[in-house]
Structure 1
Amino acid sequence: MLTAAVLLTLLAGVYAAGALGALSLSRIDAPGSESDQAQAVLAEQFHTGPPNLVLLVSARQGTVDDIRTEGERLTAELAAEPGVAEVGSYWSRGGSPALRSEDGTAGLVLARVPGEVNAARALVGELAERFTRETASIRVAAGGQDVVFREIGAQARTDFLRAELVVIPLVLVLLLLVYRRFALAAVTLGVGVFSILGTLALLRLVAAFTPVSTFAANIALVMGLALGVDYCLFVIARFREELEGGADVGGAVSTAVRTAGRTVLFSGITVATSLLALTLFPLSFLRSFGYAGAFVVLTAVTGALVVLPAALAVLGPRALPRRPGRRRGEHGGWYRLALAVMRRPVLTGGLALVAVLVVASPVLGLRFGMPDARILPPDAPGRVTADEIRAGFGQEESDALYLVAPDGEADVAEYAAELSRVEGIAQVDSAAGSFAGGERVGPGADRFTADGGTYLAAIPTQAALAGDPAALVEAVRAVPAPFEVLVGGNPAAMTDWRAAMTERLPLVLTLVLVLTFAVLFLMTGSLLLPLKATVLNLLSLGVMFGVLVWVFQEGNLADLLGFTATGTLESSIPLLMFCVVYGLSMDYEVFVVSRIREEYLSTGDSQAAVALGLQRSGPLVTVAAVVLALSFAVYTTGGVVYLKMIGLGMAVAVLVDAVVIRGVLLPAFVRLAGSANWWAPEPLRRVHERFGFSDVADRTVSKANDAGTPAAVTGGT
């Protein structure tokens, strides 16, 4: 088995080596939405679309009119490039105000490079590099949506490689401190690496059929390592317990897999359930993390339940600490903490709850907005260009709204004039002319008509995009049109993208909550414990969202972490983090409650079971949380704001969950609930006895306890 595992890991590593190149950041779109349909009509009927490459041309002296010759030459040079479908500039479009900076010293050249996302971005990157230049009269800088996304993808890959170099040695050192045995540390780390490489290989395979986000590799690294280590910790701890209790190696391996291994399987099911829910969204970006989550759980559970037992069978007594020392059992710090909490459950639980709610309170000010180049570090070329455009231009031509009428050309002037009166629209360009504030300010252009149809470009102000772009899109869509129109463009695509998430959100949240509740019920046979787990997990999520708002929306710690706050959060990242953290919180819940339940079945005493169960699982949960927090925290040093959010938010959430939620609130709750912790109505109890994941001995003890017989007499587990 070990030989097969090593060979499989090597093969997975070879195939996974090409995974980062196969992954990409897909463009923001919601398949089948109005903006998606508008994009298709623009491409097919009008052979146009939103530009994805922008050149910012600045005059070294004078104004953009003084460098007309250079501007026209640059426009023609870019238009002649193979693969460039369309180019327009201040100098080729009659001096449009939307393409000139407010001080008149800079103008824009807009280009569209069509094609498959990876091929288009590769060409955009090449063009951006070649056209970035300085001469005696002009300075040219490159930017645009695909330049920014290309740089985000490259930065995410760099962050992944750097994190890999830092996290793996850190985890090895931590495991050496925990196990005091190099062989065990190496095996545990090996299972984590097996999970990482297996997940990356599977992601590369999926990427051959459907887009997979670059960020999925970052999640694979952190969660593959963390879950692999997490699961091994519990199986190894139980194996050591059995050896120290006098069992032979075979019996110790069997018992460890039957007890801790079953808990690992439960944990894997809950984490996978939470992350697989992301595949229900019709958005490739979020589905990518659903694939990554499922593959991480599959490989980590396989490593812990198949590869690790084989390694333990080989190691045998060599898996025990070199200096066994005194078994702390009932007298460790977690045991004493549990007893202290249960003596005054209202006071200790109330104080912990207040602290958690205070940290979570900033979530009340949560605001969602559109992502932009400020996701990147301040010195990234695409970010520098975007910042210059944001500072120098009052309106944003590259983020224009496109109003597409495949079968209408009448009354365009009146419609364009009405659109230009919408607050937040600086200018509307059409076949009938350019309009601002309801008045015609420039001539029309033939490019707006084709095959009996027309389209208009409504150019928003920078202030409108920085405020509430979704409200602007709705206001534009609400303007009565003389013909049927489809509204597209980047702001509309982002609005429809968010709407697609919102539409599926109730279904996803319901499935996550119901399925994880059902798994915990099948494990415990209780109605109250799964309900308690749900509430405690939501508190962990509240802490995470509170930190995200306080730090990344409001800008606290921005200088320390090296990012620029925009006053809003992009909606998909918090949703991703919800599913990941909910699954991980349930992971810790499964490990703690399973051990508490085992002790309860042995003693019939809820308080003693909590103290003993927490003592035997708490240290392991803490180590697992530290490993996971360290792995996530490494990304706070990365260059992409999204990864900083994931790194800090999840590190804080898992530490608070492991220490405060499981260490204080859980025992306080169990103490207050008393015997109700293990109650279920008779019909559900029969369901649990028939379908629940319990040993026969467990059921015998449960029935004995119901009958008032001490568990010890029945020979409980």
Structure 2
Amino acid sequence: VSWLLLLGVVGGVVGAGLATGFVKGTDNSFTIPGTEAQEGIELLDRTFPQASGTSAQLVIVAPDGDRVDDEPVSGIIADAIDDLDGIDGVIAVTDPFDEMVDGLVSEDGQAAIIRLQFDGQSTDVSDATKDELTGVAADTRAAMPEGSQVAMGGDLFSTSVPAITITEAVGVLIALFVLIVTFRSIAVAWFPLASALIGVGLSIVLIFLASAFTSISSTTPMLALMLGLAVGIDYALFIVARHQDQVRSGVDPEESAARATGTAGSAVVFAGVTVLIALIGLGFAGIPFLTTMGIAAAVAVAVAVIVSLTLTPALLGFAKGKVMGRPRRERRSRKGTARAAGTTADDATASTPTPTARRKGFAERWVTMVTRHPVVTTLAVVVGLGLVAIPSASLHLALPNAGVQPKESEARQAFDLTATHFGPGSNGPLIMAGTIVTSTDPLGLMDDLKAEIEQFPGVKEVALATPNETADTGLIQIVPETAPDDPATADLVRELRAAHDRLLDEYGVDLKVTGFTAVGIDISDRLGAALLPFGIFVVGLSLVLLMIVFRSIWVPVKAAVGYLLSVTAAFGVVAAVFEWGWFADLL
């Protein structure tokens, strides 16, 4: 049976690998149905396509004391504009010295931004195009006088696609080392790891096969890989550890494998189901790509459970009785050792031998202490977790941007240069778009709207206010005073949207706030609003499941309270590090 099962798993992996010829690959584009930002993007796609795609910007900083509008810097900028205009996929290059555009030359004249617009989202821009862009940046950097700074960045380079690196391989080796120490056997240590790797392989293949029918982001396989590997090792570890203990106790290996699967296997099933509940609950956010990630990760966990209950016992069948591992040396208490050392041969024959006292290990002593003082332990844990959870009240949600990339990356350098010379809001401009087809004076209407929007608190400037070529849609580009992930920027977006009805009555334009920054704010708001129903769904179903398992009310309630405390404490740690800056320098 073990051979047949193993051959079946190998055949399944090979067959799934052959089927990967039908996959379409990952797609990092996403939509957020029902949000104003998404409606604005769709409006621009229909009527203002040259402004609906992703953007990039080349930041050029002259040496100290020089200006970008003086030679030779101005000539170098003109050459860079010509080079960028000829790159495939670039549909518009904005000259920083264009009189129709504001905000692309710093107030002191030392820095300038060449803004690029693309046809399509960031996922539609090829790697070859990105290489050409960075090549132009490198040529411009080489041509600039000494002391200058040049960097290519913007929305196109704001996020990096995750990939498997040497870090994952190191993690697997560390896991193998821990398993060897745990089981005291190299052969046995491979069983959980082999089960996890095979399960992850099957999951990744299934996820890529699903890309033939739906969009799968590049983050989805990475999430499935990490979760599948973690729970795969964990679940197989339950069964192998139980099996090893039973064999050491004298149970027949074949009977022990069956008994371990029947006992520890039930724990694996229920543990897997609780994780599935949490992952499927991601659908409460109403964000399609996040729902897809949750389902894909749930598939990886389900496969890990199935592989642990089928392949792991088969591997144990191959091992037979060779799972005992290296025997542990018996430890004796000092008192027992001294008594044994002081006993003579005559004493040994004359007296009845007494068993040597066993010295308790740290874990056993710890559990004994905790169970002996349950009230004190419970209060200490609850108060401790409560204190750790305090920073979670200041936790703010936001999508990652170039500001969180490594400092040595060019996108991060462009982000920092833009914030230094143009203000933090220049890294996340907002866009307002609306239909102006009923207007008899489109240019005058856009000027009036520009003056109106500039009066809002938090608006640094309106960089652009213009109708499209057919004069049926107007576009306003707003530069906030604050950074894209600053809560004040989110407040500005809400204030602009709150003024929708008033602007509609006064100017007859149905304006929608959109753009990359607005999309991120809408996603954060969706996630924040989904936390409560998500928590109710996960905790509620987990309570029901635990009641079925333990046939008790108090055990599930205590487990739910512990879960909530641990999650809140985890949020507190995240906020303390990334919001308050505690120990951030160590990362």
Structures share a fold, TM > 0.5?
yes
CA contact (8 A) 1:34 1:486 kept: yes
| Corresponding position: 1:201 with 2:230 | no
The superposition leaves residues 520-550 of structure 1 with CA deviations (integer Å, 9 ceiling, x where unpaired) of 1111111111111110011111221121111
CA contact (8 A) 2:68 2:74 kept: yes
| Residue of structure 2 in register with 1:477 after alignment | 497
| Residue of structure 2 in register with 1:517 after alignment | 543
Residue 34 of structure 1 aligns to which amino acid in structure 2?
E
Residue 200 of structure 2 aligns to which amino acid in structure 1?
I
**Counterparts of 2:412 and 2:424 in 1: how far apart (Å)?**
17
The superposition leaves residues 129-180 of structure 1 with CA deviations (integer Å, 9 ceiling, x where unpaired) of 221122145764210111122xx21xx31xx322222011111111111112
Which runs of 5 or more structure 1 residues have no equivalent in the other structure?
A: 432-444, 562-717
| Corresponding position: 1:545 with 2:551 | no
CA contact (8 A) 1:46 1:450 kept: no
Residue 419 of structure 1 aligns to which amino acid in structure 2?
I
Q: 1:535 to 1:391 in 2, by over 3 A?
A: same
With normalisation by structure 1, the TM-score equals 0.69
Q: Report 1:65-84 matches (<5 A).
A: 65-66=69-70, 67-84=73-90
Displacement of 1:10: 5.6
| Corresponding position: 1:261 with 2:265 | yes
CA contact (8 A) 1:89 1:109 kept: yes
**Equivalent residue in structure 2 for 1:499, among 511, 525, 529:** 525
Report SS of the residue matched to 2:322. Answer: helix
Q: Report 1:81-230 matches (<5 A).
A: 81-91=87-97, 93-94=98-99, 96-115=101-120, 117-120=122-125, 122-132=127-137, 133=139, 134-136=142-144, 140-149=150-159, 152-153=160-161, 156-157=162-163, 160-230=164-234
CA contact (8 A) 2:272 2:305 kept: yes
Displacement of 1:380: 0.6
| Residue of structure 2 in register with 1:365 after alignment | 394
CA contact (8 A) 2:106 2:422 kept: yes
CA contact (8 A) 2:76 2:144 kept: no
**Counterparts of 1:395 and 1:259 in 2: how far apart (Å)?**
58
Displacement of 1:379: 0.5
**Counterparts of 2:20 and 2:414 in 1: how far apart (Å)?**
35
CA contact (8 A) 1:172 1:189 kept: yes
Residue 403 of structure 2 aligns to which amino acid in structure 1?
R
Q: 1:80 to 1:471 in 2, by over 3 A?
A: same
Displacement of 1:291: 3.0
Displacement of 1:505: 3.3
**Counterparts of 2:303 and 2:482 in 1: how far apart (Å)?**
47
Report SS of the residue matched to 2:151. Answer: strand
Residue 57 of structure 1 aligns to which amino acid in structure 2?
I
| Residue of structure 2 in register with 1:428 after alignment | 462
| Most deviating of 546-555 and 325-334 | 325-334
The superposition leaves residues 238-286 of structure 1 with CA deviations (integer Å, 9 ceiling, x where unpaired) of 2234334444333222211111111111111111111121134332442
**Counterparts of 2:128 and 2:486 in 1: how far apart (Å)?**
29
Residue 529 of structure 1 aligns to which amino acid in structure 2?
V
CA contact (8 A) 2:468 2:474 kept: yes
**Counterparts of 2:464 and 2:418 in 1: how far apart (Å)?**
24
CA contact (8 A) 2:155 2:516 kept: no
CA contact (8 A) 2:53 2:121 kept: no
Q: 1:524 to 1:451 in 2, by over 3 A?
A: same
Q: 1:416 to 1:97 in 2, by over 3 A?
A: closer
Which runs of 5 or more structure 2 residues have no equivalent in the other structure?
A: 332-356
Displacement of 1:467: 4.6
Q: 1:539 to 1:124 in 2, by over 3 A?
A: farther
Between Structure 1 and Structure 2, which shows a larger proportion of helix residues? Answer: 1
Name the % identity: 26
Residue 219 of structure 2 aligns to which amino acid in structure 1?
F
**Counterparts of 2:569 and 2:464 in 1: how far apart (Å)?**
49
Q: 1:268 to 1:541 in 2, by over 3 A?
A: same
Displacement of 1:349: 2.0
**Equivalent residue in structure 2 for 1:251, among 252, 255, 263:** 255
CA contact (8 A) 2:29 2:121 kept: no
| Residue of structure 1 in register with 2:55 after alignment | 52
**Counterparts of 2:291 and 2:299 in 1: how far apart (Å)?**
13
Structure whose CA Rg is larger: 2
| Residue of structure 1 in register with 2:470 after alignment | 450
Q: 1:344 to 1:59 in 2, by over 3 A?
A: closer
Report SS of the residue matched to 2:108. Answer: coil
Residue 543 of structure 1 aligns to which amino acid in structure 2?
A
**Counterparts of 2:558 and 2:570 in 1: how far apart (Å)?**
19
Report SS of the residue matched to 1:559. Answer: helix
Displacement of 1:339: 3.5
CA contact (8 A) 2:483 2:489 kept: no
Residue 351 of structure 1 aligns to which amino acid in structure 2?
A
**Counterparts of 2:66 and 2:212 in 1: how far apart (Å)?**
51
**Counterparts of 1:80 and 1:56 in 2: how far apart (Å)?**
18
Q: Report 1:15-34 matches (<5 A).
A: 22-23=25-26, 25-26=28-29, 29-34=31-36
Q: 1:347 to 1:232 in 2, by over 3 A?
A: same
Displacement of 1:107: 1.1
CA contact (8 A) 1:59 1:105 kept: yes
| Residue of structure 2 in register with 1:672 after alignment | none
CA RMSD of aligned residues (A): 3.0
CA contact (8 A) 2:153 2:410 kept: yes
Q: Report 1:297-316 matches (<5 A).
A: 297-316=301-320
| Residue of structure 2 in register with 1:681 after alignment | none
| Corresponding position: 1:402 with 2:393 | no
The superposition leaves residues 481-533 of structure 1 with CA deviations (integer Å, 9 ceiling, x where unpaired) of 12222221122212222232234333322211111111111111111111111
Report SS of the residue matched to 1:210. Answer: coil
| Residue of structure 1 in register with 2:408 after alignment | 379
**Equivalent residue in structure 1 for 2:37, among 22, 35, 38:** 35
CA contact (8 A) 2:418 2:426 kept: no
Q: Report 1:317-356 matches (<5 A).
A: 317-323=321-327, 333-356=362-385
Q: 1:279 to 1:415 in 2, by over 3 A?
A: same
| Residue of structure 2 in register with 1:415 after alignment | 449
CA contact (8 A) 2:59 2:150 kept: yes
CA contact (8 A) 1:403 1:457 kept: yes
Q: 1:339 to 1:279 in 2, by over 3 A?
A: same
| Most deviating of 382-391 and 241-250 | 241-250
Displacement of 1:7: 4.2
Residue 536 of structure 1 aligns to which amino acid in structure 2?
G
Report SS of the residue matched to 1:457. Answer: strand
Report SS of the residue matched to 2:321. Answer: helix
The superposition leaves residues 417-440 of structure 1 with CA deviations (integer Å, 9 ceiling, x where unpaired) of 121011111222555xxxxxxxxx
Displacement of 1:451: 4.5
Q: 1:255 to 1:331 in 2, by over 3 A?
A: farther
Residue 316 of structure 1 aligns to which amino acid in structure 2?
K
**Counterparts of 1:255 and 1:370 in 2: how far apart (Å)?**
48
CA contact (8 A) 1:425 1:459 kept: yes
| Residue of structure 1 in register with 2:339 after alignment | none
Report SS of the residue matched to 1:115. Answer: coil
**Counterparts of 1:173 and 1:17 in 2: how far apart (Å)?**
36
CA contact (8 A) 2:431 2:513 kept: yes
The superposition leaves residues 684-703 of structure 1 with CA deviations (integer Å, 9 ceiling, x where unpaired) of xxxxxxxxxxxxxxxxxxxx
Displacement of 1:323: 2.4
